[in-house]
Amino acid sequence: MQFADRLNKVETSAIRELFKLLGKPGIISFAGGFPDSALFDVDGIRAAVNQALGEEPGGALQYGATEGYQPLREQLAAFMASKGAKDLAPENLIVTTGSQQALDLLGKTLISPGDKVIVEGPTFLATIQCFRLYGAELISAPIDADGVQTGALEQLIAEHKPKFVYLIPTFGNPSGATLSLARRKQVLEMAVKHQTLIVEDDPYGDLYFGDAPPPSLLNLSANVPGSRDLLVHCGSLSKVLSPGLRVGWMVAPAELLAKATMCKQFSDAHTSTFAQATAAQYLKAGRMPATLAKVRAVYAERAQAMGDALRKELGDAIEFVQPQGGLFVWARLTGAGGKVADGNVFAKRSIDEGVAFVPGTPFFCAQPDHATLRLSFATADVDKIREGAARLARAL
């Protein structure tokens, strides 16, 4: 079959290949990026479904506006306001089919073949694939424990004049890193100085374990004149409520929102009205704060257990920053004591020992660090996390 040229630049994800091996009986998986299904607020969602069908069945089951179901846009604007984006109107956002669709719409509306886009090294794999599908030339900006290195980022912006910069500033996937407050301000100032569009992808910001992370770029943009016009913010209910709902949203300047809405019309007409009405009722019922408190507590315990177990079992063969939120530990093999130092080799040996994680290389669009690994603590309980770490030690 003759496929479109655009497919030539995209390979099947290495992670997908790895997932085929996860069916092995008894395997402990730290590989997924899923939230734990045992934490879904089934009663709350069932009540929201009943409300949605009881109150406005027409709205929940009929075709709807491409921009989104208005009561959900209102609830999402209020949810964002409760987190500090006080000046946001429902019209400033559209509902998307997961935040993944927001990324796709950004690709569709902004990227022409050969356009440059700056992403973090490492970044979310599906973003790399999606932007490449539209022909983007991706440029990798280095990160450290405080997120993207702003000095290097500014140089790259000046040199490459990218179409936009894509960042996951809070509990990044896969890095777990959070951009410091000082750097957040610098990023917004840089956007204005170089007139560069910044995309803030923020599916994990609510999953913090101790203190709340610094305010989002969206919240901070109110204090940096001109920056709101150069900022896109993507949100999602996937990691905090349910990915199966496929409810995400995108806040963007009006001109971009209009183009994205037009493209969305050709993609899926609108996000499922049934899912949107359910999400709207769920938010309206005021259940979100309790749900967030519950998931934060469970993931905090698991993150601590994983950090402790990795330190105990793997010692100086591995190094990582203890995550303060999100779903992932991002680690590096040190090769200490002649132990394995390549993430891909270690992943294969680990599967033989009955434990899986994702090697870090696919998360880099350029110059991969082969010693890196991403381990999710979200879906295994504390006992499994400890057992998994012991198996990892055997695979070293």
Ligand X SMILES: Cc1ncc(COP(=O)(O)O)c(C=O)c1O
Contact 374, 355 (CB under 8 A): no
Closest CA to 10 of 101, 135, 109: 135
Please report how close the Cβ of residue 268 comes to ligand X at its closest, in angstroms.
13
Phi-psi region of 177 (alpha: psi -120 to 50; beta: other; left: phi over 0): beta
Please report how close the Cβ of residue 234 comes to ligand X at its closest, in angstroms.
7
CA distance 350 to 388: 9
Phi, psi of 239 (to 5 degrees): -85, -20
Among 236, 271, 273, 379, binds ligand X (CB under 6 A): 236
Please report how close the Cβ of residue 239 comes to ligand X at its closest, in angstroms.
7
Contact 245, 97 (CB under 8 A): no
Please give the helix or strand (H or E) that residue 329 lies within, else none.
strand 328-333
Nearer to ligand X, 207 or 230 (CB): 207
Please report how close the Cβ of residue 396 comes to ligand X at its closest, in angstroms.
28
Nearer to ligand X, 172 or 307 (CB): 172
Region binding ligand X by CB under 6 A among candidate stretches 84-92, 93-101, 259-267, 300-308: 93-101
Region binding ligand X by CB under 6 A among candidate stretches 16-24, 95-103, 142-150, 379-387: 95-103
Tokens found for residue 391: 């198996």
Neighbouring-strand partners of residue 202: none
Residue number, nearest CB to ligand X: 98
Site residue total, ligand X (CB under 6 A): 13
* 363-383 burial code (b ≥16 CB/10 A, e <16): bbbeebeebbbbbbbbbbebe
Please list every residue from 243 through 272 that binds ligand X, using CB under 6 A: 243, 248
Nearer to ligand X, 79 or 317 (CB): 79
Among 51, 66, 92, 99, binds ligand X (CB under 6 A): 99
Nearer to ligand X, 249 or 309 (CB): 249
Please list every residue from 195 through 214 that binds ligand X, using CB under 6 A: 201, 203
**302: buried, middle or exposed (CB in 10 Å: 19+, 13-18, 0-12)?**
buried
- Does 100 participate in binding ligand X (rule CB under 6 A)? yes
Nearer to ligand X, 169 or 343 (CB): 169
For residue 79, the one-letter residue type is: F
Please report how close the Cβ of residue 376 comes to ligand X at its closest, in angstroms.
10
- Does 33 participate in binding ligand X (rule CB under 6 A)? yes
- Does 124 participate in binding ligand X (rule CB under 6 A)? yes
Beta-carbon contacts of residue 156 (< 8 Å; ≥ 6 apart) = 118, 139, 141, 162
Tokens found for residue 45: 């969602």
Region binding ligand X by CB under 6 A among candidate stretches 22-30, 94-102, 157-165, 311-319: 94-102
Contact 162, 118 (CB under 8 A): yes
Region binding ligand X by CB under 6 A among candidate stretches 96-104, 207-215, 263-271, 356-364: 96-104
Closest CA to 207 of 127, 148, 294: 294
For residue 317, the Cα-to-chain-centroid distance in whole angstroms is: 28
Site string for ligand X, 153-182 (x = CB under 6 A): ---------------x----x---------
Positions that interact with ligand X (CB under 6 A)? 33, 98-100, 124, 168, 173, 201, 203, 236, 238, 243, 248
